[in-house]
């Protein structure tokens, strides 16, 4: 993936187009069209999870596909969450340790 992605939203409809698809044609500001004759697909839940920093072995449990995207889109980046949790833990240990 050669370009930065927008944040993964909590809905599959806003999930970025897979990078192997042709670029959309810009009509005007904030208006784009698909190139006719080409297939486009949204990034999968797993691909979106990779962008958000989830490890490949992370298990997602959902029945509705949109719920899978919601888990990704509403999540805090995994590495950031770990750093934040470790910082809170250290602060608590210093206060009560």
Whichever domain contains 88, its CATH number is: 3.90.120.10
Query: Could you report the per-residue pLDDT of 13-42, keeping only the tens digit for each?
Result: 666 676 777 777 888 887 878 888 888 777
55 vs 60: CA distance, rounded Å:
11
Would you say 69 and 43 are in contact if contact means Cβ atoms under 8 Å apart?
Answer: no
Tell me which residue range forms the domain holding 74.
12-96
Query: Could you report the per-residue pLDDT of 44-77, keeping only the tens digit for each?
Result: 888 888 877 888 898 889 999 888 888 887 777 7
Q: Kindly state whether residue 1 falls inside one of the protein's structural domains.
A: no
42 vs 29: CA distance, rounded Å:
22
Q: Kindly state whether residue 2 falls inside one of the protein's structural domains.
A: no
E strands present in 1-97 = 25-28, 31-33
Number of domains in the chain: 1
Using CA atoms, how far residue 32 sits from 5, 6, 19, 26, 69, in Å, is: 16, 16, 16, 4, 23
């Amino acid at each position: 993936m050669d370009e930065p992605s927008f944040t993964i939203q909590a809905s599959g409809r806003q999930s970025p187009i897979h990078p192997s698809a042709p670029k959309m044609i810009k009509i005007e500001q904030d208006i784009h069209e698909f190139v006719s004759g080409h297939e486009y697909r949204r990034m999968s839940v797993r691909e979106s999870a990779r962008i958000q920093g989830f490890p490949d072995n992370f298990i997602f449990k959902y029945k509705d596909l949109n719920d899978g995207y919601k888990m990704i889109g509403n999540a805090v980046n995994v590495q950031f969450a770990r750093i934040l949790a470790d910082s809170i833990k250290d602060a608590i240990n210093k206060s009560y340790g």
